[in-house]
């Protein structure tokens, strides 16, 4: 029973982590390696707003989310926009941005910036208590993850299916050239996708970080998890991402319970290898022809 609940929570965490990356890739075919960096940055920003500026928690969170969306916009507008169409450069550039942010957070001594090193940082949970669900004690934060996470997913669905901007995103995702012919501006849409994707990373950060510590290393862990979900689920398929989150979320929880948490990476890599062997396009991946199309 414990596994059932914690597995569900873990799956939701995986889903939230992957959502931003999957959205950006699905719409603009750009692998946003800076995804994990934005996640961590939002975490630290919230912490700063909370502790240095002494803002109320809610305000800190909202402010950080706005900043994350802006960050996504900036990343696209100033870096990626110049590199559209050159996949090699896109990958390298987004990777470099990720490093600037992540390693930059570790800097010490530049203009008095002390750098975020050490295990002293954490974000407080929304409501510090546990509740008994079907015989298992679950802390509220985890329930919030499930609750807010589902809301976020619902919001994404509604946004992409019923709002004008969201429909534009889907159009570009399905067929960029046809969408362009209909007057949809690919660059603006890509900027939107990056803003939304980064905001999703921020939301994930705000929900998940209170569970543990806040450290720069998390940036890489988050990126790995998001990438694992996307590969297993299939790049470009939402259903696949959801399914993969469930698969990976539960597998990790089960293996952690049986073998210990230290094997999580092995489980992830094992699942990836398995998928690449059996169904390279991902569990529900749409692409049949995986090689570059001429």
Partner 1 sequence: MEMSERRKKRLDRSITVRSRGLYALSSWREMTFLLLPRVALVALLCALPLMLDMYWQRVFCAAATYAMLALAFDFLAQYAGLVCLGLSMFIGLGGYVSGSLNHYWGWPIWVTIPLASVTGAALGTLALVLCLRLRGVYFAIVSFMLPLFLVSFIVATSILGSTEGISSLDYLPNIWVEQYLLVGALLVALFGLRRLMTEDFGIILQAVKDNDQAVKASGIDITAYKIKALFLAALIGSFCGAYLSHLYGWLGLSMFAMDFSILPIAATVMGGMGTLAGPVIGAFVLTPLSEALRGFGQLRVVLYSLILLAFILYKPEGILNYLERKYFQFERWEKV
CA 142 to chain CA centroid, Å, is: 17
254 binds partner 1 (CB under 8 A): no
Range list of β-strands (E), the chain:
130-133, 136-139
Q: Do the beta carbons of residue 187 and residue 81 sit within 8 Å?
A: yes
> Is the Cβ of residue 2 or residue 217 nearer to partner 1 in the bound state?
217
Q: Which is nearer to partner 1, 8 or 34 (CB)?
A: 34
67 Cβ contact partners less than 8 Å away, ≥ 6 residues apart: 42, 45, 202
φ and ψ of 265, to 5 deg: -60, -40
3-class secondary-structure state, position 137: strand
40 binding partner 1? (CB under 8 A): no
Question: Site size for partner 1, by CB under 8 A?
Answer: 47
Q: Which of 62, 79, 146, 180 binds partner 1 (CB under 8 A)?
A: 79
H or E element that contains 260:
none
- The verdict on 257 binding partner 1 (CB under 8 A) reads no
Cα-based angle 50, 53, 54 (whole degrees, multiple of 5):
55
Query: Is there binding between residue 23 and partner 1 (CB under 8 A)?
Result: no
174 belongs to the binding site for partner 1 (CB under 8 A): no
Distances (CA, A) of 11 to 8, 143, 170, 246, 294: 5, 13, 25, 5, 37
For partner 1, the closer CB: 50 or 230: 230
Binding mask 208-247 for partner 1 (x = CB under 8 A): ------------x--xx--xx--x---x------------
- In the complex, which residues of this chain contact partner 1 (CB under 8 A)? 25, 31, 33, 79, 82-83, 87-89, 91-93, 95-97, 99-100, 103-104, 106-110, 115, 220, 223-224, 227-228, 231, 235, 262-263, 265-266, 268-269, 272-273, 276-277, 280, 290-292, 294
């Amino acid at each position: 029973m414990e596994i059932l609940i914690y597995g569900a929570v873990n799956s939701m965490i995986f889903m939230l982590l992957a959502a931003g990356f999957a959205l950006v890739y699905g719409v603009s075919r750009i692998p946003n390696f800076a995804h994990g960096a934005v996640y961590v940055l939002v975490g630290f920003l919230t912490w700063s707003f909370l502790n240095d500026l002494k803002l109320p928690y809610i305000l800190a969170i909202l402010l950080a989310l706005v900043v994350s969306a802006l960050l996504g916009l900036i990343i696209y507008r100033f870096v990626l926009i110049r590199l559209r169409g050159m996949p090699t450069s896109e990958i390298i550039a987004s990777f470099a941005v990720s490093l600037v942010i992540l390693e930059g957070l570790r800097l010490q001594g530049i203009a008095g910036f002390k750098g975020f090193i050490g295990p002293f940082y954490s974000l407080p949970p929304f409501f510090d208590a546990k509740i008994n669900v079907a015989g298992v004690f679950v802390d509220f934060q985890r329930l919030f993850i499930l609750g807010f996470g589902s809301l976020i997913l619902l919001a994404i669905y509604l946004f992409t299916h019923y709002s004008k901007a969201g429909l534009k995103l889907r159009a570009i995702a399905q067929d960029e050239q046809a969408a362009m012919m209909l007057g949809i501006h690919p660059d603006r849409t890509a900027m939107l996708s990056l803003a939304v994707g980064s905001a999703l990373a921020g939301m994930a950060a705000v929900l998940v970080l209170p569970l543990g510590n806040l450290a720069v290393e998390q940036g890489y862990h988050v990126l790995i998890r998001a990438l694992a979900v996307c590969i297993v689920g299939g790049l470009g398929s939402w259903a696949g991402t959801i399914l993969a989150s469930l698969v990976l979320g539960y597998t990790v929880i089960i293996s952690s319970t049986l073998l210990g948490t230290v094997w999580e990476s092995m489980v992830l890599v094992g699942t990836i290898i398995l998928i690449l062997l059996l169904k390279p396009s991902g569990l529900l991946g749409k692409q049949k022809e995986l090689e570059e199309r001429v």
